[in-house]
């Protein structure tokens, strides 16, 4: 079967690429190995942080574009996708000052408040340092976003095929590749690979990708003690002073947000065990979960720490945590988004569409050749 573009991987980034390509007039088939809405990868779950606390120009550019595109997609979908509840950032104040300077240069609203003022404003949280608050941040309704991306892509002619594993990809020239499933062979001028944790298995021998490390992460939901409390999204870094013993039990910075109906989500960042995505245990590492419960006891007085409900997801990250947005002949690759990628989803889809069309991503996101 001949098609302009095959997208392999139907999570957030693949769905966004299909959306952008289809509305640009390309014929698109998306192939996803699991059923729609599965919980086996990295894109499931009801919420993600929409966090604009970046200092790097490339990321701030993508964030501005993503906000516009999320709103555009929400208008097509007929329901909101962003809840702008604000986001608090605390812990590593020198880094946050850099973020504030970058925001000021771009006219992004953010400001510092004292720990006492922050604790009085958000009674469910404790603070030990000045807090950078970004009102134009919050959370993404991620499960709704996946549905919206699919529906909008299909409305523009894209075809989504779930429960359709890709058995082989053959590069047949600089302008052609064949994607093989059990039922069909698709010939396309470009193949967009957004397969998350399965990317190295699928195209590792066809590309010169940076190391992609797959880990199983175990955040948790905690039940709020009082449903009237106001919860911003949050990012909390440990004190950069290595002699501060209060943070010795920490594994990494902590991120979190309220997930309506499920509780307050909190998790360590990218410190789970390295794991083959086809051999996951879905079980939390006991000492990491114990440390997360201790974090809730010390820093989230608005939740009941004893109510922790573990969640399992995969991270796929590059060594420097920058994304890979590049091409290798007819293969266009989007990879390494875990930990901070979801907020950028619609703009990543646009970048992948541009690469299909012969464009290039910012140099930060090029794979090392």
Name the residue ranges covered by the structural domains of the chain.
Answer: 1-83+140-210+319-369, 87-135+213-317
Of 248, 306, 310, nearest to 282 (Cα)? Answer: 310
Quick one: how far is CA 17 from the chain centroid? 15
pLDDT of residue 39: 83
Residue segments in the chain with a per-residue pLDDT below the cut of 70? 369
Gap between the Cα atoms of 6 and 27, Å rounded: 9
Q: What is the pLDDT of residues 192-248, one digit of tens each?
A: 999 999 999 999 999 989 999 999 999 999 999 999 999 999 999 998 888 888 899
Quick check: 193 and 331 in contact, CB under 8 A? Answer: yes
List, in sequence order, every residue forming a beta bridge with 217; answer none if it has no partner: 313
Gap between the Cα atoms of 288 and 186, Å rounded: 44
* Other C-beta atoms lying within 10 Å of the C-beta of residue 96: 22
Token pair for 231: 């919860």
Half-sphere exposure of 71 (CA within 13 A, CB side): 6
pTM: 0.96
212-to-73, 87, 235, 333, 347 alpha-carbon distances in Å: 30, 29, 24, 12, 22
199-to-87, 211, 277, 281, 316 alpha-carbon distances in Å: 32, 11, 10, 20, 9
Quick check: 212 and 336 in contact, CB under 8 A? Answer: yes
* Other C-beta atoms lying within 10 Å of the C-beta of residue 3: 18
pLDDT of residue 70: 98
List, in sequence order, every residue forming a beta bridge with 55; answer none if it has no partner: none
Gap between the Cα atoms of 1 and 3, Å rounded: 7
260-to-10, 47, 52, 218, 312 alpha-carbon distances in Å: 25, 9, 21, 19, 18
Residues in the chain, how many? 369
Owner of token pair 């990879």: 335
pLDDT of residue 44: 78
What is the rounded average pLDDT for all residues in the chain? 95
pLDDT of residue 369: 45
Q: Is 300 exposed, middle or buried (0-12, 13-18, 19+ CB in 10 A)?
A: buried
143-to-146, 162, 219, 241, 347 alpha-carbon distances in Å: 5, 16, 17, 38, 18
Q: In terms of DSSP bridges, do strands 220-224 and 303-310 run parallel, antiparallel, or are they unpaired? A: antiparallel
pLDDT of residue 243: 84
Q: Which CATH superfamily is domain 1-83+140-210+319-369 in?
A: FAD/NAD(P)-binding domain (3.50.50.60)
- CA Rg value for the chain: 21
Gap between the Cα atoms of 66 and 45, Å rounded: 19
**Mind giving me the DSSP string for 177-198?**
EEEEESS-EEEEEEEEE--GGG
Q: What is the dihedral of CA 294, 300, 303, 309, to 10 degrees?
A: -50
Distance from the first to the final alpha carbon of the chain: 32
Token pair for 323: 């994304």
Helix (H) or strand (E) holding 202: helix 199-203
Gap between the Cα atoms of 14 and 7, Å rounded: 6
Q: May I ask the CATH architecture of the domain 87-135+213-317?
A: 2-Layer Sandwich (3.30)
Q: What is the pLDDT of residues 248-282, one digit of tens each?
A: 999 999 999 999 999 999 999 999 999 999 999 99
């Amino acid at each position: 079967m001949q098609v302009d573009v095959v997208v392999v991987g139907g999570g957030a980034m693949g769905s966004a690429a299909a959306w952008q390509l289809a509305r640009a007039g390309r014929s698109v088939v998306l192939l996803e190995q699991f059923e729609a809405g599965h919980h086996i990868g990295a894109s499931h779950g009801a919420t993600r942080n929409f966090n604009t606390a970046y200092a790097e120009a490339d990321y701030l550019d993508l964030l501005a574009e993503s906000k516009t595109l999320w709103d555009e997609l929400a208008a097509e979908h007929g329901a909101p996708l962003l809840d702008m509840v604000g986001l608090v950032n605390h812990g590593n104040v020198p880094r946050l000052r850099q973020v504030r300077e970058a925001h000021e240069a771009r006219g992004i609203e953010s400001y510092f408040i004292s720990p006492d003022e922050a604790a009085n404003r958000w009674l469910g949280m404790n603070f030990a340092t000045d807090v950078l608050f970004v009102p134009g941040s919050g959370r993404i309704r991620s499960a709704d976003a996946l549905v919206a991306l699919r529906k909008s892509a299909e409305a523009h002619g894209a075809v989504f095929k779930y429960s359709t594993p890709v058995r082989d990809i053959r590069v047949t020239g600089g302008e052609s590749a064949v994607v093989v499933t059990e039922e069909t062979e698709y010939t396309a001028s470009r193949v967009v690979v957004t397969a998350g944790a399965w990317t190295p298995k699928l195209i590792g021998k066809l590309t010169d990708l940076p190391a992609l490390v797959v880990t199983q992460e175990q955040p948790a939901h905690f039940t709020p003690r009082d449903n009237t409390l106001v919860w911003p999204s949050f990012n909390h870094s440990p004190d950069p002073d290595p002699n501060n013993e209060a943070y010795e039990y920490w594994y990494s910075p902590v991120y979190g947000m309220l997930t309506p109906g499920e509780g307050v989500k909190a998790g360590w960042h990218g410190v789970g065990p390295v794991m083959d995505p086809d051999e996951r245990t879905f079980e939390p590492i006991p000492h990491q979960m114990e440390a997360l419960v201790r974090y809730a006891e010390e820093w989230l007085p608005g939740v009941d720490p004893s109510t922790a409900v573990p969640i399992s997801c995969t991270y796929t990250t590059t060594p420097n945590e920058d994304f890979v947005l590049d091409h290798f002949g007819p293969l266009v690759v989007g990879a390494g988004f875990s930990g901070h990628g979801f907020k950028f989803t619609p703009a990543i889809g646009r970048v992948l569409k541009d690469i299909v069309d012969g464009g290039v991503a910012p140099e930060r996101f090029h794979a090392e050749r």
